Chain A
Amino acid sequence: MAAQSLSAVDVAVAASTAEAAGGTPPRRRRGARAERLAPLVLLAPAVLIIAGLRLWPLVLGINFSFTGDGDRNGMMVGFDNYLTLLNDPLFRTALRNVGLLVLLLPVAVAIPGLLATFIYLKVPGHRLYRGVYFFPAVLSPVIVGAIFNLLLAFDGPLNALLGGLGIGPVDWLGDPDVAIFAVVGVHVWATFGMALVVFLAGFATLDSSLLDAAEVDGASLPQTVWHVIIPSLSRTIQFVFVTTMIGMLTSMFGLVYVMTSGGPEGSTYLPEYYVWIQQGQMNQPALASAASTALFLIMLVVGLAQIGILRRAGKED
Protein backbone atom coordinates (compact mmCIF):
# COMPACT_ATOMS: atom_id res chain seq x y z
CA MET A 1 0.00 0.00 0.00
CA ALA A 2 2.70 2.47 1.03
CA ALA A 3 4.94 1.51 -1.86
CA GLN A 4 2.04 1.80 -4.23
CA SER A 5 1.03 5.32 -3.23
CA LEU A 6 4.65 6.43 -3.16
CA SER A 7 5.10 5.45 -6.79
CA ALA A 8 1.91 7.32 -7.62
CA VAL A 9 3.43 10.34 -5.90
CA ASP A 10 6.59 10.08 -7.95
CA VAL A 11 4.68 9.87 -11.18
CA ALA A 12 2.49 12.82 -10.28
CA VAL A 13 5.43 14.98 -9.25
CA ALA A 14 7.37 14.05 -12.35
CA ALA A 15 4.40 14.88 -14.54
CA SER A 16 3.86 18.27 -12.94
CA THR A 17 7.56 19.09 -13.13
CA ALA A 18 7.65 18.25 -16.81
CA GLU A 19 4.61 20.38 -17.40
CA ALA A 20 6.01 23.37 -15.53
CA ALA A 21 9.37 23.10 -17.25
CA GLY A 22 7.75 22.69 -20.64
CA GLY A 23 6.61 26.29 -21.02
CA THR A 24 4.04 28.40 -19.18
CA PRO A 25 6.05 30.82 -17.01
CA PRO A 26 5.15 30.86 -13.35
CA ARG A 27 2.22 33.22 -12.86
CA ARG A 28 2.90 33.81 -9.24
CA ARG A 29 2.24 37.50 -8.88
CA ARG A 30 -0.99 37.63 -10.80
CA GLY A 31 -2.25 34.62 -8.88
CA ALA A 32 -1.16 35.75 -5.42
CA ARG A 33 -4.63 36.85 -4.44
CA ALA A 34 -6.24 33.76 -5.85
CA GLU A 35 -3.65 31.73 -3.97
CA ARG A 36 -4.49 33.33 -0.65
CA LEU A 37 -8.15 32.65 -1.21
CA ALA A 38 -7.53 29.05 -2.25
CA PRO A 39 -8.48 27.40 1.06
CA LEU A 40 -11.69 29.39 1.03
CA VAL A 41 -12.51 28.39 -2.53
CA LEU A 42 -11.68 24.71 -1.95
CA LEU A 43 -13.72 24.54 1.23
CA ALA A 44 -16.66 26.70 0.16
CA PRO A 45 -18.93 23.96 -1.28
CA ALA A 46 -18.36 21.64 1.68
CA VAL A 47 -18.84 24.36 4.28
CA LEU A 48 -21.99 25.68 2.63
CA ILE A 49 -23.55 22.24 2.32
CA ILE A 50 -22.64 21.03 5.80
CA ALA A 51 -23.58 24.27 7.52
CA GLY A 52 -26.76 24.75 5.53
CA LEU A 53 -28.09 21.23 5.33
CA ARG A 54 -26.77 19.57 8.49
CA LEU A 55 -25.86 21.99 11.27
CA TRP A 56 -28.54 24.58 10.56
CA PRO A 57 -31.37 21.99 10.38
CA LEU A 58 -30.24 20.63 13.76
CA VAL A 59 -30.71 24.07 15.33
CA LEU A 60 -33.93 24.57 13.39
CA GLY A 61 -35.27 21.20 14.50
CA ILE A 62 -34.56 21.73 18.19
CA ASN A 63 -36.22 25.11 17.97
CA PHE A 64 -39.08 23.61 15.99
CA SER A 65 -39.72 20.98 18.68
CA PHE A 66 -40.91 23.73 21.03
CA THR A 67 -43.58 24.97 18.60
CA GLY A 68 -47.05 23.59 17.95
CA ASP A 69 -48.68 21.57 15.18
CA GLY A 70 -51.92 22.19 13.33
CA ASP A 71 -53.85 25.12 14.82
CA ARG A 72 -50.92 26.10 16.99
CA ASN A 73 -48.51 26.08 14.05
CA GLY A 74 -45.58 28.41 14.73
CA MET A 75 -46.61 29.22 18.31
CA MET A 76 -44.17 28.49 21.09
CA VAL A 77 -45.63 25.77 23.28
CA GLY A 78 -42.76 25.01 25.64
CA PHE A 79 -42.36 21.35 26.45
CA ASP A 80 -45.86 20.35 25.29
CA ASN A 81 -44.56 18.14 22.48
CA TYR A 82 -42.25 16.31 24.83
CA LEU A 83 -45.15 15.71 27.25
CA THR A 84 -47.23 14.40 24.33
CA LEU A 85 -44.40 12.04 23.47
CA LEU A 86 -44.14 10.66 26.98
CA ASN A 87 -47.88 10.02 27.03
CA ASP A 88 -47.93 8.38 23.61
CA PRO A 89 -47.94 4.57 23.99
CA LEU A 90 -46.25 4.23 20.59
CA PHE A 91 -43.33 6.43 21.60
CA ARG A 92 -43.08 4.62 24.93
CA THR A 93 -42.89 1.34 23.02
CA ALA A 94 -40.17 2.89 20.86
CA LEU A 95 -38.19 3.83 23.99
CA ARG A 96 -38.71 0.39 25.50
CA ASN A 97 -37.37 -1.12 22.30
CA VAL A 98 -34.30 1.12 22.52
CA GLY A 99 -33.76 -0.26 26.02
CA LEU A 100 -33.94 -3.75 24.56
CA LEU A 101 -31.36 -2.82 21.92
CA VAL A 102 -29.00 -1.48 24.59
CA LEU A 103 -29.37 -4.75 26.53
CA LEU A 104 -28.64 -6.78 23.39
CA LEU A 105 -25.66 -4.64 22.48
CA PRO A 106 -23.02 -6.74 24.31
CA VAL A 107 -24.24 -9.81 22.40
CA ALA A 108 -24.15 -7.94 19.09
CA VAL A 109 -20.53 -6.98 19.83
CA ALA A 110 -19.39 -10.29 21.34
CA ILE A 111 -20.55 -12.48 18.44
CA PRO A 112 -18.49 -10.74 15.73
CA GLY A 113 -15.63 -10.35 18.20
CA LEU A 114 -15.52 -14.07 18.85
CA LEU A 115 -15.88 -14.94 15.17
CA ALA A 116 -13.08 -12.51 14.29
CA THR A 117 -10.88 -14.16 16.92
CA PHE A 118 -11.42 -17.56 15.35
CA ILE A 119 -10.76 -16.21 11.87
CA TYR A 120 -7.59 -14.56 13.15
CA LEU A 121 -6.53 -17.86 14.72
CA LYS A 122 -6.98 -19.44 11.28
CA VAL A 123 -9.67 -22.04 11.87
CA PRO A 124 -10.22 -24.23 8.80
CA GLY A 125 -11.92 -22.18 6.10
CA HIS A 126 -10.95 -18.84 7.62
CA ARG A 127 -10.20 -17.30 4.24
CA LEU A 128 -13.78 -17.85 3.14
CA TYR A 129 -15.66 -16.69 6.23
CA ARG A 130 -14.71 -13.06 6.19
CA GLY A 131 -15.96 -12.54 2.65
CA VAL A 132 -19.18 -14.44 3.28
CA TYR A 133 -20.02 -12.91 6.66
CA PHE A 134 -19.39 -9.38 5.47
CA PHE A 135 -21.68 -9.59 2.46
CA PRO A 136 -25.11 -9.02 4.11
CA ALA A 137 -23.70 -5.87 5.69
CA VAL A 138 -23.45 -4.19 2.29
CA LEU A 139 -27.01 -5.11 1.30
CA SER A 140 -29.77 -2.57 1.80
CA PRO A 141 -32.02 -3.14 4.83
CA VAL A 142 -34.83 -3.04 2.28
CA ILE A 143 -33.46 -6.07 0.45
CA VAL A 144 -32.64 -7.90 3.67
CA GLY A 145 -36.08 -7.11 5.07
CA ALA A 146 -37.83 -8.20 1.87
CA ILE A 147 -35.99 -11.51 1.84
CA PHE A 148 -36.79 -12.16 5.49
CA ASN A 149 -40.41 -11.31 4.84
CA LEU A 150 -40.41 -14.46 2.73
CA LEU A 151 -38.31 -16.56 5.09
CA LEU A 152 -40.20 -15.62 8.25
CA ALA A 153 -43.70 -15.80 6.77
CA PHE A 154 -46.09 -17.92 8.83
CA ASP A 155 -46.08 -20.56 6.07
CA GLY A 156 -42.46 -19.83 5.19
CA PRO A 157 -39.23 -21.84 5.21
CA LEU A 158 -38.16 -21.21 8.80
CA ASN A 159 -41.43 -22.50 10.24
CA ALA A 160 -41.30 -25.46 7.86
CA LEU A 161 -37.80 -26.25 9.13
CA LEU A 162 -38.88 -25.92 12.77
CA GLY A 163 -41.99 -28.00 12.00
CA GLY A 164 -39.69 -30.75 10.78
CA LEU A 165 -38.02 -30.67 14.19
CA GLY A 166 -41.38 -30.82 15.89
CA ILE A 167 -41.46 -27.20 17.01
CA GLY A 168 -44.79 -25.52 16.37
CA PRO A 169 -45.05 -22.64 13.91
CA VAL A 170 -44.13 -19.24 15.34
CA ASP A 171 -45.79 -16.12 13.98
CA TRP A 172 -42.44 -14.32 13.72
CA LEU A 173 -43.73 -11.05 12.35
CA GLY A 174 -47.34 -11.23 13.54
CA ASP A 175 -46.97 -11.86 17.26
CA PRO A 176 -46.44 -8.62 19.22
CA ASP A 177 -44.22 -10.41 21.74
CA VAL A 178 -42.00 -11.94 19.08
CA ALA A 179 -41.83 -9.46 16.21
CA ILE A 180 -39.31 -7.03 17.74
CA PHE A 181 -36.94 -9.91 18.45
CA ALA A 182 -37.33 -11.10 14.87
CA VAL A 183 -36.53 -7.63 13.51
CA VAL A 184 -33.55 -7.11 15.83
CA GLY A 185 -32.34 -10.63 15.07
CA VAL A 186 -32.40 -9.91 11.35
CA HIS A 187 -30.57 -6.63 11.95
CA VAL A 188 -27.85 -8.45 13.87
CA TRP A 189 -27.67 -11.13 11.17
CA ALA A 190 -27.30 -8.46 8.51
CA THR A 191 -24.73 -6.29 10.25
CA PHE A 192 -22.46 -8.52 12.33
CA GLY A 193 -20.12 -8.71 9.33
CA MET A 194 -19.48 -4.97 9.60
CA ALA A 195 -18.24 -5.29 13.19
CA LEU A 196 -16.33 -8.44 12.21
CA VAL A 197 -14.35 -6.56 9.57
CA VAL A 198 -13.55 -3.80 12.05
CA PHE A 199 -12.36 -6.39 14.56
CA LEU A 200 -10.18 -8.03 11.92
CA ALA A 201 -8.62 -4.65 11.13
CA GLY A 202 -7.88 -4.36 14.83
CA PHE A 203 -6.31 -7.82 14.89
CA ALA A 204 -4.07 -6.78 12.02
CA THR A 205 -2.47 -4.22 14.35
CA LEU A 206 -2.08 -6.77 17.15
CA ASP A 207 1.46 -7.69 18.14
CA SER A 208 1.56 -11.40 17.31
CA SER A 209 4.54 -12.02 19.64
CA LEU A 210 2.13 -11.47 22.54
CA LEU A 211 -0.02 -14.33 21.31
CA ASP A 212 3.03 -16.52 20.76
CA ALA A 213 4.16 -15.78 24.29
CA ALA A 214 0.74 -16.71 25.63
CA GLU A 215 0.87 -19.97 23.71
CA VAL A 216 4.35 -20.77 24.99
CA ASP A 217 3.12 -20.11 28.53
CA GLY A 218 0.36 -22.62 27.92
CA ALA A 219 -2.54 -20.16 28.19
CA SER A 220 -5.95 -21.58 27.28
CA LEU A 221 -8.07 -19.90 24.64
CA PRO A 222 -10.37 -18.10 27.12
CA GLN A 223 -7.29 -16.92 29.03
CA THR A 224 -5.69 -15.64 25.85
CA VAL A 225 -8.87 -13.81 24.86
CA TRP A 226 -9.31 -12.29 28.30
CA HIS A 227 -5.72 -11.32 29.13
CA VAL A 228 -4.17 -10.65 25.74
CA ILE A 229 -6.71 -9.95 23.03
CA ILE A 230 -9.28 -7.83 24.86
CA PRO A 231 -6.74 -5.44 26.48
CA SER A 232 -4.83 -5.05 23.21
CA LEU A 233 -7.97 -4.30 21.23
CA SER A 234 -9.66 -1.95 23.71
CA ARG A 235 -9.68 0.88 21.17
CA THR A 236 -11.29 -1.31 18.50
CA ILE A 237 -13.84 -2.71 20.95
CA GLN A 238 -14.79 0.81 21.96
CA PHE A 239 -15.21 1.78 18.31
CA VAL A 240 -17.38 -1.26 17.62
CA PHE A 241 -19.58 -0.62 20.66
CA VAL A 242 -20.28 2.95 19.64
CA THR A 243 -20.80 2.27 15.93
CA THR A 244 -22.99 -0.76 16.59
CA MET A 245 -25.18 1.27 18.92
CA ILE A 246 -25.43 4.12 16.43
CA GLY A 247 -26.31 1.55 13.77
CA MET A 248 -29.07 0.09 15.92
CA LEU A 249 -30.55 3.52 16.59
CA THR A 250 -30.29 4.94 13.08
CA SER A 251 -30.18 2.24 10.45
CA MET A 252 -33.09 -0.02 11.25
CA PHE A 253 -35.72 2.13 9.56
CA GLY A 254 -35.60 0.14 6.34
CA LEU A 255 -36.07 -3.15 8.16
CA VAL A 256 -38.99 -1.94 10.28
CA TYR A 257 -40.57 -0.26 7.27
CA VAL A 258 -40.40 -3.38 5.12
CA MET A 259 -40.83 -6.16 7.67
CA THR A 260 -43.52 -4.91 10.04
CA SER A 261 -44.39 -1.25 9.36
CA GLY A 262 -44.13 -0.77 13.12
CA GLY A 263 -46.69 -3.49 13.84
CA PRO A 264 -48.14 -5.74 15.06
CA GLU A 265 -49.94 -3.43 17.51
CA GLY A 266 -47.08 -0.93 17.29
CA SER A 267 -44.74 -3.37 19.01
CA THR A 268 -41.80 -2.82 16.65
CA TYR A 269 -41.74 0.98 16.78
CA LEU A 270 -38.32 2.58 17.08
CA PRO A 271 -37.72 6.32 17.56
CA GLU A 272 -36.62 6.79 13.95
CA TYR A 273 -39.75 5.05 12.68
CA TYR A 274 -41.87 7.20 14.98
CA VAL A 275 -40.25 10.35 13.57
CA TRP A 276 -41.00 9.19 10.04
CA ILE A 277 -44.66 8.38 10.82
CA GLN A 278 -45.29 11.69 12.56
CA GLN A 279 -43.60 13.68 9.81
CA GLY A 280 -44.62 11.74 6.72
CA GLN A 281 -47.98 10.22 7.59
CA MET A 282 -49.53 12.14 10.48
CA ASN A 283 -48.36 15.58 9.36
CA GLN A 284 -47.19 16.57 12.84
CA PRO A 285 -43.73 17.99 12.08
CA ALA A 286 -43.28 19.73 15.43
CA LEU A 287 -44.02 16.53 17.34
CA ALA A 288 -41.70 14.69 14.95
CA SER A 289 -38.98 17.25 15.71
CA ALA A 290 -39.41 16.63 19.42
CA ALA A 291 -39.01 12.89 18.82
CA SER A 292 -35.92 13.63 16.69
CA THR A 293 -34.40 15.72 19.45
CA ALA A 294 -35.16 12.96 21.96
CA LEU A 295 -33.42 10.46 19.68
CA PHE A 296 -30.41 12.74 19.43
CA LEU A 297 -30.24 13.03 23.23
CA ILE A 298 -30.53 9.25 23.61
CA MET A 299 -27.63 8.82 21.21
CA LEU A 300 -25.50 11.38 23.04
CA VAL A 301 -26.21 9.86 26.45
CA VAL A 302 -25.72 6.26 25.35
CA GLY A 303 -22.61 7.11 23.34
CA LEU A 304 -20.95 9.13 26.11
CA ALA A 305 -21.91 6.59 28.76
CA GLN A 306 -20.39 3.79 26.72
CA ILE A 307 -17.17 5.66 26.17
CA GLY A 308 -17.04 6.45 29.89
CA ILE A 309 -17.70 2.86 30.96
CA LEU A 310 -15.22 1.42 28.49
CA ARG A 311 -12.55 3.96 29.48
CA ARG A 312 -12.93 3.01 33.11
CA ALA A 313 -12.89 -0.69 32.28
CA GLY A 314 -9.77 -0.09 30.21
CA LYS A 315 -7.98 1.66 33.08
CA GLU A 316 -8.53 -1.25 35.45
CA ASP A 317 -6.41 -3.52 33.29
Chain B
Amino acid sequence: MPRLTRWVVAIPMAALALATIYPLVFTTNVAMKTRREYVLDRFSLADSLSWDNLVKAWTSVGMSRYFLNSVVVVACSVGLLLLFGSMAGFALARLKFRGSSALFLGVLAALFIPFQVIMVPLARIMADTGLVDTYPGLVLAYVAQFLPFTIFLLTSYYSTVPPDIVDAARIDGNTVYGVYWRIMLPIGAPALLSVGVLNALFCWNDVLISLLMMPSAEHRTLMVGVTSLRGQYSDDIPTFASGVLIAAVPVLVVYLFLQRQIADGVTAGSTKG
Protein backbone atom coordinates (compact mmCIF):
# COMPACT_ATOMS: atom_id res chain seq x y z
CA MET B 1 0.00 0.00 0.00
CA PRO B 2 1.39 3.46 -0.88
CA ARG B 3 2.63 5.59 1.96
CA LEU B 4 0.02 8.27 1.52
CA THR B 5 -2.87 5.78 1.47
CA ARG B 6 -1.60 4.30 4.71
CA TRP B 7 -1.81 7.61 6.47
CA VAL B 8 -5.18 8.48 4.94
CA VAL B 9 -6.55 5.18 6.20
CA ALA B 10 -4.92 5.62 9.60
CA ILE B 11 -6.85 8.78 10.38
CA PRO B 12 -10.38 7.27 10.44
CA MET B 13 -8.96 4.21 12.19
CA ALA B 14 -7.50 6.36 14.92
CA ALA B 15 -10.80 8.23 15.18
CA LEU B 16 -12.60 4.90 15.53
CA ALA B 17 -10.16 3.86 18.24
CA LEU B 18 -10.98 7.05 20.12
CA ALA B 19 -14.70 6.44 19.65
CA THR B 20 -14.17 2.97 21.06
CA ILE B 21 -12.52 4.23 24.21
CA TYR B 22 -14.51 7.41 24.71
CA PRO B 23 -17.72 5.90 26.16
CA LEU B 24 -15.77 4.32 29.01
CA VAL B 25 -13.76 7.48 29.60
CA PHE B 26 -16.97 9.50 29.68
CA THR B 27 -18.53 7.10 32.18
CA THR B 28 -15.45 7.23 34.40
CA ASN B 29 -15.49 11.00 34.34
CA VAL B 30 -19.20 11.12 35.20
CA ALA B 31 -18.64 8.71 38.08
CA MET B 32 -16.15 11.18 39.56
CA LYS B 33 -18.56 14.11 39.39
CA THR B 34 -21.07 15.36 41.90
CA ARG B 35 -24.69 15.37 40.82
CA ARG B 36 -24.64 19.14 40.60
CA GLU B 37 -21.55 19.14 38.43
CA TYR B 38 -23.12 16.59 36.09
CA VAL B 39 -26.32 18.55 35.66
CA LEU B 40 -24.43 21.78 34.99
CA ASP B 41 -21.96 20.33 32.50
CA ARG B 42 -21.70 16.69 31.53
CA PHE B 43 -18.53 16.99 29.48
CA SER B 44 -16.14 19.03 31.58
CA LEU B 45 -13.53 17.09 33.50
CA ALA B 46 -14.58 16.34 37.04
CA ASP B 47 -13.46 19.17 39.34
CA SER B 48 -12.07 16.93 41.98
CA LEU B 49 -11.42 13.23 41.71
CA SER B 50 -14.13 12.24 44.12
CA TRP B 51 -14.56 8.64 45.17
CA ASP B 52 -17.79 9.41 46.99
CA ASN B 53 -20.06 8.03 44.27
CA LEU B 54 -18.05 4.85 43.98
CA VAL B 55 -18.15 4.34 47.74
CA LYS B 56 -21.87 5.00 47.75
CA ALA B 57 -22.49 2.55 44.89
CA TRP B 58 -20.32 -0.06 46.61
CA THR B 59 -21.88 0.25 50.06
CA SER B 60 -25.35 1.78 50.36
CA VAL B 61 -26.52 0.82 46.87
CA GLY B 62 -25.43 -2.75 47.49
CA MET B 63 -23.04 -3.38 44.62
CA SER B 64 -20.64 -5.11 47.00
CA ARG B 65 -23.19 -7.83 47.67
CA TYR B 66 -23.86 -8.36 43.95
CA PHE B 67 -20.14 -8.30 43.26
CA LEU B 68 -19.50 -11.04 45.80
CA ASN B 69 -22.40 -13.10 44.43
CA SER B 70 -20.91 -12.86 40.95
CA VAL B 71 -17.41 -13.76 42.10
CA VAL B 72 -18.63 -16.89 43.89
CA VAL B 73 -20.86 -18.03 41.04
CA VAL B 74 -18.24 -17.37 38.35
CA ALA B 75 -15.47 -19.12 40.32
CA CYS B 76 -17.56 -22.24 40.92
CA SER B 77 -18.85 -22.33 37.34
CA VAL B 78 -15.42 -21.96 35.76
CA GLY B 79 -13.89 -24.56 38.12
CA LEU B 80 -16.53 -27.14 37.21
CA LEU B 81 -16.40 -26.27 33.52
CA LEU B 82 -12.65 -26.82 33.40
CA LEU B 83 -12.86 -30.06 35.39
CA PHE B 84 -15.69 -31.66 33.42
CA GLY B 85 -14.49 -30.17 30.15
CA SER B 86 -10.95 -31.47 30.46
CA MET B 87 -12.13 -34.92 31.57
CA ALA B 88 -14.44 -35.19 28.58
CA GLY B 89 -11.94 -33.57 26.19
CA PHE B 90 -9.21 -36.01 27.16
CA ALA B 91 -11.53 -39.01 26.84
CA LEU B 92 -12.87 -37.90 23.45
CA ALA B 93 -9.48 -37.00 22.04
CA ARG B 94 -7.22 -39.73 23.39
CA LEU B 95 -9.18 -42.77 24.57
CA LYS B 96 -10.52 -45.36 22.18
CA PHE B 97 -14.01 -46.56 22.96
CA ARG B 98 -17.16 -47.31 21.06
CA GLY B 99 -19.41 -44.34 20.33
CA SER B 100 -16.80 -41.69 20.88
CA SER B 101 -17.43 -39.92 17.57
CA ALA B 102 -21.19 -40.06 18.13
CA LEU B 103 -20.68 -38.41 21.52
CA PHE B 104 -18.54 -35.69 19.99
CA LEU B 105 -21.28 -35.02 17.45
CA GLY B 106 -23.74 -34.72 20.32
CA VAL B 107 -21.50 -32.09 21.91
CA LEU B 108 -21.31 -30.21 18.61
CA ALA B 109 -25.09 -30.31 18.29
CA ALA B 110 -25.48 -28.93 21.81
CA LEU B 111 -23.09 -26.14 20.87
CA PHE B 112 -25.67 -24.83 18.41
CA ILE B 113 -28.58 -24.72 20.83
CA PRO B 114 -28.79 -21.16 22.13
CA PHE B 115 -30.01 -20.56 25.65
CA GLN B 116 -33.08 -18.66 24.42
CA VAL B 117 -34.34 -21.78 22.73
CA ILE B 118 -34.28 -23.95 25.86
CA MET B 119 -34.85 -21.38 28.58
CA VAL B 120 -38.54 -22.13 29.15
CA PRO B 121 -38.20 -25.87 29.74
CA LEU B 122 -34.93 -25.31 31.63
CA ALA B 123 -36.68 -22.91 34.00
CA ARG B 124 -39.32 -25.56 34.58
CA ILE B 125 -36.73 -28.28 35.24
CA MET B 126 -34.95 -26.00 37.70
CA ALA B 127 -38.22 -25.17 39.43
CA ASP B 128 -39.23 -28.84 39.65
CA THR B 129 -35.90 -29.78 41.22
CA GLY B 130 -35.95 -26.88 43.67
CA LEU B 131 -32.84 -25.32 42.15
CA VAL B 132 -34.42 -22.00 41.18
CA ASP B 133 -33.03 -19.07 43.15
CA THR B 134 -30.12 -21.10 44.54
CA TYR B 135 -26.44 -20.67 43.77
CA PRO B 136 -25.98 -24.35 42.78
CA GLY B 137 -28.86 -23.89 40.34
CA LEU B 138 -27.27 -20.89 38.67
CA VAL B 139 -23.85 -22.58 38.59
CA LEU B 140 -25.41 -25.66 37.02
CA ALA B 141 -27.16 -23.50 34.42
CA TYR B 142 -23.86 -21.83 33.50
CA VAL B 143 -22.01 -25.13 33.35
CA ALA B 144 -24.70 -26.57 31.09
CA GLN B 145 -24.62 -23.49 28.88
CA PHE B 146 -20.86 -23.31 28.33
CA LEU B 147 -19.80 -26.95 28.65
CA PRO B 148 -20.26 -27.87 24.96
CA PHE B 149 -17.98 -25.01 23.91
CA THR B 150 -15.45 -25.94 26.60
CA ILE B 151 -15.39 -29.59 25.56
CA PHE B 152 -15.12 -28.66 21.90
CA LEU B 153 -12.09 -26.46 22.52
CA LEU B 154 -10.32 -28.86 24.89
CA THR B 155 -10.98 -31.87 22.67
CA SER B 156 -9.36 -30.13 19.73
CA TYR B 157 -6.45 -29.08 21.93
CA TYR B 158 -5.90 -32.58 23.31
CA SER B 159 -6.10 -33.98 19.79
CA THR B 160 -2.83 -32.18 19.09
CA VAL B 161 -1.05 -33.97 21.94
CA PRO B 162 1.01 -36.84 20.44
CA PRO B 163 -0.51 -40.22 21.36
CA ASP B 164 3.00 -41.52 22.15
CA ILE B 165 2.99 -39.47 25.31
CA VAL B 166 -0.12 -41.21 26.60
CA ASP B 167 1.32 -44.61 25.66
CA ALA B 168 4.64 -43.86 27.33
CA ALA B 169 2.91 -42.78 30.51
CA ARG B 170 0.78 -45.94 30.48
CA ILE B 171 3.85 -48.15 30.08
CA ASP B 172 5.35 -46.37 33.08
CA GLY B 173 2.45 -47.72 35.14
CA ASN B 174 0.02 -44.83 35.17
CA THR B 175 -3.68 -45.59 35.20
CA VAL B 176 -5.93 -43.71 32.80
CA TYR B 177 -6.80 -41.39 35.65
CA GLY B 178 -3.13 -40.92 36.39
CA VAL B 179 -2.53 -39.96 32.78
CA TYR B 180 -5.36 -37.45 33.00
CA TRP B 181 -4.21 -35.95 36.28
CA ARG B 182 -0.41 -35.98 35.89
CA ILE B 183 0.00 -35.54 32.14
CA MET B 184 -3.10 -34.11 30.52
CA LEU B 185 -3.95 -31.41 33.02
CA PRO B 186 -0.41 -29.91 33.03
CA ILE B 187 -0.09 -30.18 29.24
CA GLY B 188 -3.47 -28.59 28.83
CA ALA B 189 -2.59 -25.55 30.95
CA PRO B 190 -2.46 -23.02 28.07
CA ALA B 191 -5.80 -24.20 26.70
CA LEU B 192 -7.33 -24.37 30.17
CA LEU B 193 -6.25 -20.79 30.85
CA SER B 194 -7.69 -19.57 27.57
CA VAL B 195 -11.01 -21.36 27.86
CA GLY B 196 -11.17 -20.56 31.58
CA VAL B 197 -10.82 -16.82 31.03
CA LEU B 198 -13.37 -16.90 28.26
CA ASN B 199 -15.85 -18.81 30.40
CA ALA B 200 -15.27 -16.42 33.28
CA LEU B 201 -16.14 -13.52 30.97
CA PHE B 202 -19.23 -15.30 29.64
CA CYS B 203 -20.51 -16.00 33.14
CA TRP B 204 -19.58 -12.58 34.53
CA ASN B 205 -21.25 -10.79 31.61
CA ASP B 206 -24.41 -12.86 31.48
CA VAL B 207 -27.71 -11.26 32.34
CA LEU B 208 -30.41 -13.47 30.80
CA ILE B 209 -29.59 -16.72 32.59
CA SER B 210 -29.12 -14.93 35.87
CA LEU B 211 -32.40 -13.03 35.54
CA LEU B 212 -34.20 -16.27 34.87
CA MET B 213 -32.57 -18.36 37.59
CA MET B 214 -32.24 -15.85 40.45
CA PRO B 215 -35.48 -13.94 40.96
CA SER B 216 -34.83 -12.63 44.47
CA ALA B 217 -33.00 -9.35 44.98
CA GLU B 218 -30.37 -10.55 47.45
CA HIS B 219 -29.22 -13.28 45.04
CA ARG B 220 -28.66 -10.89 42.16
CA THR B 221 -25.45 -11.15 40.21
CA LEU B 222 -23.58 -7.98 39.36
CA MET B 223 -25.00 -7.50 35.85
CA VAL B 224 -28.58 -7.87 37.05
CA GLY B 225 -27.64 -5.43 39.80
CA VAL B 226 -26.53 -2.91 37.18
CA THR B 227 -29.82 -3.23 35.31
CA SER B 228 -31.73 -2.58 38.51
CA LEU B 229 -29.67 0.58 39.14
CA ARG B 230 -31.05 2.15 36.01
CA GLY B 231 -34.56 2.48 37.39
CA GLN B 232 -33.50 3.39 40.92
CA TYR B 233 -30.92 6.04 40.12
CA SER B 234 -32.29 7.63 36.97
CA ASP B 235 -31.96 11.05 38.65
CA ASP B 236 -28.54 10.35 40.14
CA ILE B 237 -26.45 9.62 37.08
CA PRO B 238 -23.03 9.80 38.80
CA THR B 239 -24.03 6.98 41.17
CA PHE B 240 -25.40 5.00 38.25
CA ALA B 241 -22.16 5.52 36.32
CA SER B 242 -20.22 4.38 39.38
CA GLY B 243 -22.16 1.14 39.49
CA VAL B 244 -21.44 0.57 35.80
CA LEU B 245 -17.77 1.27 36.40
CA ILE B 246 -17.56 -1.21 39.28
CA ALA B 247 -18.97 -3.89 36.98
CA ALA B 248 -16.62 -2.99 34.12
CA VAL B 249 -13.29 -2.64 35.95
CA PRO B 250 -12.68 -6.36 36.63
CA VAL B 251 -13.22 -7.07 32.94
CA LEU B 252 -10.81 -4.29 32.00
CA VAL B 253 -8.14 -5.70 34.32
CA VAL B 254 -8.57 -9.24 32.99
CA TYR B 255 -8.45 -7.87 29.46
CA LEU B 256 -5.24 -5.96 30.01
CA PHE B 257 -3.45 -9.07 31.25
CA LEU B 258 -5.03 -11.86 29.22
CA GLN B 259 -6.01 -10.30 25.92
CA ARG B 260 -4.10 -12.87 23.89
CA GLN B 261 -5.67 -15.83 25.69
CA ILE B 262 -9.14 -14.37 25.16
CA ALA B 263 -8.46 -13.87 21.46
CA ASP B 264 -7.09 -17.43 21.18
CA GLY B 265 -10.29 -18.82 22.65
CA VAL B 266 -12.50 -16.71 20.41
CA THR B 267 -10.67 -17.65 17.24
CA ALA B 268 -10.27 -21.35 17.99
CA GLY B 269 -12.10 -23.29 15.33
CA SER B 270 -12.21 -20.40 12.87
CA THR B 271 -9.23 -21.49 10.79
CA LYS B 272 -9.21 -25.26 11.24
CA GLY B 273 -12.81 -26.17 12.12
Contact = CB atoms under 8 A, between A and B. Distances in A.
A182 interface: no
A19 B173 CA distance: 9
B23 A147 contact: yes
B5 A253 contact: no
A64 interface: yes
B interface, over-half SS? helix
Contact of A133 (B17, B43, B103, B177): B17
A93 interface: no
Contact of A249 (B90, B114, B177, B248): B114
A236 B271 contact: yes
Contacts of A149: 230
B56 interface: no
B226 interface: yes
Nearest to A233: B271
A interface, over-half SS? helix
Counting chain B residues whose Cβ lies within 8 A of the other chain, the interface size class is 35 or more
B13 A292 contact: no
B175 interface: yes
Counting chain A residues whose Cβ lies within 8 A of the other chain, the interface size class is 35 or more
A235 interface: yes
B68 interface: no
A150 B237 contact: yes
A147 B229 CA distance: 12
A124 B113 contact: no
Nearest to B109: A55
B217 interface: no
B51 interface: no
27 contacts: A12-B183, A13-B168, A39-B91, A39-B97, A39-B100, A46-B84, A51-B106, A58-B113, A121-B1, A123-B1, A123-B13, A124-B10, A125-B10, A131-B259, A132-B20, A134-B262, A135-B252, A135-B255, A138-B262, A142-B226, A143-B223, A143-B226, A239-B273, A246-B114, A250-B116, A253-B207, A295-B116
Given A125-B14, A295-B116, 12 more contacts: A8-B186, A16-B169, A39-B91, A42-B87, A45-B88, A54-B118, A61-B118, A140-B207, A146-B227, A157-B43, A202-B270, A235-B271
Interface of B: 1, 5-7, 9-10, 13-14, 16-17, 19-21, 23-24, 26-27, 30, 42-43, 83-85, 87-88, 90-92, 95, 97, 100, 103, 106-107, 109-110, 112-125, 140-141, 143-145, 147-148, 151, 161-162, 165, 168-169, 172-180, 182-183, 186-187, 189-190, 201, 204-208, 211-212, 223, 226-227, 229-230, 237, 240-241, 244, 247-248, 251-252, 254-255, 259, 262-263, 266-267, 269-271, 273
